Amino acid sequence: MSGPQQESVFGVAVRDIARLRRLVAIVSRHGFGEFISRSPLARFGDKKDAETDASKPAPVRFRELLEELGPTWIKLGQILSTRRDLMPPDWIDALAQLQDGTPALEWEQVEQVVEEGLQKSIASAFASFDKEPLANASIAQTHLATTHGGDR
């Protein structure tokens, strides 16, 4: 491999490790660190990530975990909430809340995704772009925007 390709592969590996560390930290923070500690993923964890609010029931913590992990995981929770043959009733009840009540993404996340997709700033692409979503669901949210040409 040539130099730039090696750096590229190394960069991808570093990003993947960072993503894995973030995932392990989130799972642990929501009280499921015991599963991590019993797996090869334990080497990516940190003891401080294991601090959690144990007063919440496991199904609620699991729902909150999926919400923090994002749209793909929320969709998994929505699917699981329909599988009464696989999940106990208290887990179904907790996961069913993902059907309607998914939180909107923070503006900083929206801004980053839009600008990466357009490969330019929102200000250069739009005359206006509402920070508050018109609607949001588990895998998307909608924002009102107006182009410099006046199209909405």
- 36 and 42 in contact (C-beta within 8 Å)? yes
Query: Residue 128: beta bridge partners?
Result: 146
Within a domain: 78: yes
pTM, 2 dp: 0.62
Residue 5 scores a pLDDT above 60? no
Q: How does pLDDT run across 9-55, given as a tens digit for each residue? A: 777 777 788 888 888 889 988 988 888 878 887 777 776 666 666 78
Residue 7 scores a pLDDT above 80? no
Mean confidence (pLDDT) of the chain: 85
Q: Which domain holds residue 99?
A: 54-103
**How many domains is the chain built from?**
3
- 46 and 3 belong to one structural domain: yes
Within a domain: 32: yes
Neighbouring C-alpha atoms within 13 Å toward the C-beta of 94: 17
Within a domain: 152: no
Torsion of CA 34, 60, 27, 47, to 10 degrees: -60
- 5 and 45 belong to one structural domain: yes
Neighbouring C-alpha atoms within 13 Å toward the C-beta of 63: 20
